[in-house]
Structure 1
Amino acid sequence: MRFVSIFLLFFTSSVLADASLYERGKAYYYGQGVEQDYEKSFNAFKHSAKIGSIEAKTALAMMYIEGKGVAQDDDKGLELLNYSVDRNHDKAQYYLGILYYRGIGIEEDLAKAFELFKRSANQGYADAQYNLSLMYQQGDVIKKNTLLAHKWLLDSAESGNSDGQYHLAVAYQDSGHYKDAFTLYLKAAKQDHADAQYKLGWLYEYGKGITKDYVSAVNWYIKAHQLGHVGVSYRLGLLYEVGLGVKPDYETAYHYYQMSIEEGNLDAYNKLGYLYEHGKGVGKSTQKSYEHYIHAAREGHQASQLKVALMYEKGIGTKRSIKNAKFWLKKLRKKGNKMAGFKLKRLQKR
């Protein structure tokens, strides 16, 4: 089960001169307007907790559990967290639920995790609502219930959980409701949800639910890439190669295709084969071109198989071999490739 991260504790906030101790603690924790300093963050939370801030007690609890700004101490952290839970604090209920679910500093207990998520979710805490949706969807502890899973997914999205917004958007997209999908992807993307940023880029690129806008597509793809999205490198390579939303730049396209092959993308191998073949963005090398095409071909990439057959026929980048050319064309013909059948027929006349 994929849960919202346990350590994204607080909403970010700018620092003002008259900021409360709790706000000051958040500022030092995140380095918002001041240099990040966990010890100063801990001390600010500690003083805030002394004057009654339940938010600060919850924050202190998690800092003890994380060992940030103070020596790591699960017992002390759990003591403070339970104090907040007993006073019906929604964040504390959620965090303690995570600890029970993962068995962090405490014996794993999925039933207790479920009850804590439910208490927190009923108070409108978005992350708890999303995790409750997952538990109903997957049948963890409780009986699988798709209706309740969907209900809590809707609630989590409405409450601002980016994962909930993303998955609901996917459902809208899959059913052809692109405008609704766009609205939710945008909300999640603005919270740095990499998958949502990628999807948003795709909608802009293809004009689904929004006017086609290649510049916006590139911008959202780059944001997703900066957050480590797997798969977006290939889209960026294509747009830079063709010059959509950006000026054509083969070197940058080559750079993104290189990253894409590290993710195992066979289309990227094919693209690099083309760039090496024609010397675009990289020094021309028919041998390296062949090496990239043959790699993709052996993994079942049909366009590369057709290209390899031609290279064997002509002796480009590799030793000429009509036998090997026929081998690849026969494989393609079996898959129903008409072009391969035509080329094979021509070769067999020789």
Structure 2
Amino acid sequence: MKQYKLPKKGLLLMFVCSVLCFFSSCQDKAKKADELCLKYEFEEAAKLYKEAADEGDAYAKWKLSRAYFYGEGVEVDEKKGFRLLEEAANAGLEEAKAELASYYIYRISTKADIAKGKKMMDSLVETSTNAFVLSSYAYMLMSGNPAYEKNEKKAIKILESVDDKDDPFYLHDMGLVYYNGIDNDVDYQKALEYFSKAFERGRFFSALFCGRIYYIGGHNVKKDMDKCVEWLKKGVQAMDADCMCALGQIYCSTDEKYCDVNSGIKLLENAAELGNTDAMNYLSMCYEKGDNVDKDDEKSIDYARKSFEKGNAYAGFLLGLKYQSGVGCKKNMQKAIEIWEKATDLGSGEAANNVFVYYNEKNNFLKAKKYLFLSAKLGDPMGMYNLACQYYGGSKLVEKNLTQAFIYAKKSADLDNPGACELTSYMLENGEGCDVAPKEAKKYKKKATGEE
């Protein structure tokens, strides 16, 4: 039988068609997976993302990486998540590049590299019109981080430039604009509108802010615990660990209407399994004190250690306390100091103050001064009060300076430190480091005694 050969153009056309069909199939799977996520069918979604990712789809790899990071339909596996994220970013997907940059900046990996993350993000925002990229950048500017100083006006301009106004990440950031009162008055009603839309479109973290708004109340929204709990339950259904943590704490620590300790502890444990460090810290304190659970020092230190290993600064403060006092371990002050110094690097002012106390008692005034100023800079009320006392009397750390003493005393007092309230009241009454102000002095005096 005579065989016919397709002309070269025909072969090329067949190849192009097969490639297009292949990519169309991948995109269909990823799109279907996105739809399943909105229905909370995370396991089925993860299967489809994996199929498309195995076929080389960068978008599916990015979404699957998020599934591994947040435990959506798969067990939490940060190593797999990070590997997939890198693969998607290397394939050129802008969303993955932006998220990878964020992970480097926020140290959400063992490969933290702030300079590298900033360089990646700077390069992206120069030309990108991608809503996820621009929203991620705007969030960094709104909140401030190790790579970027807080710049709310610039953040607003970035958000205004986003074309896709239905993007869930853009909507969440716009909710934050009204939640925090950036460039306008705080307006919880407007914030709710944006957060609820963001949630409906798959930014499930937004449920936490809806719950917070109803928990706090004010700014055009009436406080409503029923609606708060309702929103947090929505977030729990959507597998959001922050909502699990918040609802778990409500169940464990509120009045009889919402009190459900067993459900609360279970939610906190689920959140901890998903990597939520706030839940780990809460459980650590519960097991140390025996609150709502049987006292268990080993579980207490285990939760604190896991949280600290994930980069939680407050967990480092807690873990150091355990080595200081021997809770779940042998007393080891050197280990405590080592942990507190690392926790300070992560941003714990409480840990920095403890390091200051230690070195001050050891007459190592150079290190004591360093950590005292770090504690105050990081906003720890006790650190600011201790610095105020040093300035008030003068010491081997600083020269006497009543103006500086008043500044730090008042900052600490405004954060409800009783000793700082006493000192601030005394200085206002006598005009030390400030003008005489009897009414203000009286206010801080009442605050010191708990009358206010």
- State the TM-score, normalizing by the size of structure 1: 0.59
Gaps of 5+ in 2: 1-142, 144-175, 181-187, 196-205
Answer whether contact 2:236 2:244 (CA < 8 A) is retained: yes
Quote the residue 1:176 is aligned against.
Answer: 365
Q: Any conservation in 2 of the 1:186–1:196 contact (CA below 8 Å)?
A: yes
Equivalent in the alignment of 2:271 = 84
Task: Work out whether residues 64 and 74 of structure 1, in 8 Å CA contact, stay in contact via their aligned partners in 2.
Answer: yes
Match of residue 219 from structure 1? 407
Question: After superposition, where does 1:275-294 map in structure 2 within 5 Å?
Answer: none
* In structure 2, C-alpha distance between the alignment counterparts of 1:203 and 1:30, rounded to whole Å: 37
Contact 1:30/1:36 (8 A) holds in 2: yes
CA distance in 2, matches of 1:48, 1:164: 32
What do the CA deviations read for 1:9-31 (whole angstroms, capped 9, x no partner)? xx997353422222222333344
User: After the TM superposition, which residues 1-350 of structure 1 pair with which residues of structure 2 at under 5 Å, given as runs?
Assistant: 14=180, 16=191, 17-19=193-195, 20-31=206-217, 33=219, 34-67=221-254, 70-171=257-358, 173=360, 175-177=364-366, 180-188=370-378, 190=379, 193-205=380-392, 214-232=402-420, 235-236=423-424, 239-240=427-428, 243-248=431-436
CA distance in 2, matches of 1:214, 1:144: 39
Distance 1:100 1:243, change over 3 A: closer
Deviation string, structure 1 residues 280-320 (Cα, Å, up to 9, x no partner): xxxxxxxxxxxxxxxxxxxxxxxxxxxxxxxxxxxxxxxxx
The change in CA–CA distance for 1:258 and 1:212 in structure 2 (over 3 A counts) is closer
**How has the CA–CA distance of structure 1 residues 145 and 40 changed in structure 2, closer, same or farther, with 3 Å as cutoff?**
same
Further displaced range: 82-91 or 211-220: 211-220
User: Is the 1:64–1:70 contact (alpha carbons within 8 Å) kept by the matching residues of 2?
Assistant: no
Whole-Å separation in 2 of the counterparts to 1:245 and 1:227: 20
Question: In structure 2, what is the Cα distance between the partners aligned to 1:204 and 1:137?
Answer: 28
What SS does structure 2 have at the residue aligned with 1:222? helix
The answer to whether the 8 Å contact 1:63/1:69 transfers is no
Q: Hey, what's the Cα distance between the residues in 1 that align with 2:218 and 2:346?
A: 24
Give me the whole-angstrom Cα distance separating, in 2, the residues matched to 1:117 and 1:254.
Answer: 40
Amino acid at match of 1:47: K
Aligned to 2:153: none
Indicate conservation of the 8 Å contact 1:168/1:184, yes or no.
no
CA distance in 2 between counterparts of 1:248 and 1:221 reads 15
Q: Distance in 1 between matches of 2:349 and 2:271?
A: 25
Q: Alpha carbons of 1:168 and 1:51: their partners in 2 closer, same or farther (altered >3 Å)?
A: same
Quote the offset at 1:73 in angstroms. Answer: 0.8
Q: Amino acid of the residue matched to residue 132 of structure 1?
A: L
Partners of 1:182 and 1:203 within 8 A in 2: no
How far did residue 210 of structure 1 move? 6.8
Taking the aligned partners of 1:135 and 1:225, their CA distance within structure 2 comes to 28
The CA distance in 2 between the partners of 1:186 and 1:236, in whole Å, is 16
Which ranges of structure 1 fall in alignment gaps of 5 or more residues? 1-10, 263-350
Q: Structure 1 residue 133: deviation in Å?
A: 0.7
Instruction: Quote the residue 1:294 is aligned against.
Output: none
Percent pairwise identity = 22
Q: Deviations over 1:199-249 (max 9, x none)?
A: 232344457767865344223323434555444466446645653322357
Contact 2:372 2:383 (C-alpha < 8 Å) held by counterparts = no
Residues in 1 aligned to 2:276 and 2:445: alpha-carbon distance in whole angstroms:
48
Quick one: distance in 1 between partners of 2:420 and 2:388? 9
Is the Cα contact below 8 Å between 1:24 and 1:44 reproduced in 2?
yes
SS in 2 for 1:71: coil
Distance 1:29 1:155, change over 3 A: farther
